[in-house]
Chains A and B, each alone.
Chain A
């Protein structure tokens, strides 16, 4: 059973636009929420992560916004570039230091 719900399943954005991917979680007991980025033919790699003691974390063009009361967090990619085209996964750390992943979002940034 998926405990992290991710949307949209696919997203097409023009170069320079803002890409927004959303995730909703159920379990409030854990405190680590990462985003992974996966390029075709590659394994996922950590992009950015947040803990719920802050509402936002920014690294370059990538920002996580965290809403603890709504049990939601989102990834914002500012000034999206064709090189950002990839599949993005949100995740929640569950018991025993395991990660439960969302369904994934395939992002395409058109030139």
Chain B
């Protein structure tokens, strides 16, 4: 079984809709991250959390919100989706004492 899972894997939505992307991990890591990937722009950090009570904005947090429901779960919400939020979204985790980040398989989001 995968250590970092993301649901859904693919999603098509319409402008103005609220959607939630979910991430779960079985690695026992404290730190979790949300990134978006766009061609030519690499991976950009949206939000990150170092424990359940810690939430921090990343490089491109506008238009997004997150919830850390438990150590193992970190959700990303788009309150009112817009077409330029069409992208590939990745969740990642890391241990508190290691730099390596472990990525999920990604969610491909299309906003019409």
Contacts and interface: CB of A to CB of B under 8 A. Distances in A.
A93 to B, nearest CB: 6
Interface string A18-48: 0000000000000010100000011111100
Contacts of B74: none
A98 B43 contact: no
Interface residues of B, number: 25
A97 B99 contact: yes
A98 B54 CA distance: 14
A22 to B, nearest CB: 14
B42 A43 contact: no
Interface residues of A, number: 23
Given A9-B40, A97-B94, A99-B101, 5 more contacts: A2-B41, A6-B42, A93-B99, A101-B42, A103-B41
Interface of B: 4, 31, 33, 40-45, 48, 50, 56, 58-59, 90, 92, 94, 99-106
